[in-house]
Amino acid sequence: AQSVTQLGSHVSVSEGALVLLRCNYSSSVPPYLFWYVQYPNQGLQLLLKYTTGATLVKGINGFEAEFKKSETSFHLTKPSAHMSDAAEYFCAVAGYGQNFVFGPGTRLSVLP
Amino acid sequence: DTGVSQNPRHKITKRGQNVTFRCDPISEHNRLYWYRQTLGQGPEFLTYFQNEAQLEKSRLLSDRFSAERPKGSFSTLEIQRTEQGDSAMYLCASSQRNGYTFGSGTRLTVV
């Protein structure tokens, strides 16, 4: 069985500040981990994913995430927030060939 | 565009009516998934196909819901006798190995 928790349903940062969105997972099999972004009334866009190999994963729009097995975490970071980063962010876990289990999401607000 | 295509983008229907959504996956992807997302929530798994075989169904998929994937290409999701609680975004995704790609979704509003 797999599950995802995302600490903080709403995170606010100032433009130019560090973005940190937290994700913890549980999985009975080696996990594949994903971060998706969703803008209002749109589908999910993949930001980045971890499957195997390097634990620090770089994605689009300057985001990155680090897989820490000992902490069962896959936190998403971006050094400097931009107004266009305001959106809903979802962390997801999957086993190979298995369906995704999504977290409840974190809404990111970027303040001018 | 070789992404996952979903039609229609929006559907408004009266309670009790039947609706059908279509998903066209990336052509070389053999796995296809349907998810439902209600307002303020993460997507929830509904069902999964490998080629034309429906391999897994969530308990969320009541007997009013049916999904098909004839010939292992496009898929349809039908909801019969719609209820207001069916109002949600219905998302389709396809994958092959680790390449999961989501469509833009179909937003259903039941009035």
Mean pLDDT (chain A) is 93
Which residues in A lie closer than 8 A to residue B9 (C-beta atoms)? none
AA letter at A100: F
Which residues in B lie closer than 8 A to residue A100 (C-beta atoms)? 33, 35, 43, 45, 93, 100
Give residue-wise pLDDT tens across range A39-73: 987 888 899 999 888 899 999 999 999 999 999 99
Inter-residue contact A31 to A19 (CB < 8 Å): no
Whole-angstrom Cα distance, residue B52 to residue B68? 8
Q: Which residues 6+ apart lie within 8 Å of B31 measured at CB?
A: A97, B48, B49, B50, B94, B95, B96
Tell me whether residues A100 and B100 touch, CB distance under 8 A. Answer: yes
From the candidates B33, B45, B59, B97, which should be mutated to test the interface with A, based on the most A CB atoms within 10 A?
B45
Handedness of CA B52, B108, B79, B59 (dihedral sign): positive
Residue B104 has which token pair? Answer: 């833009």
Q: What is the mean pLDDT of residues A5-33?
A: 94
Q: What is the mean pLDDT of residues A16-45?
A: 91
Which residue in this structure is represented by tokens 């998302």? B91
Q: What is the mean pLDDT of residues B2-12?
A: 93
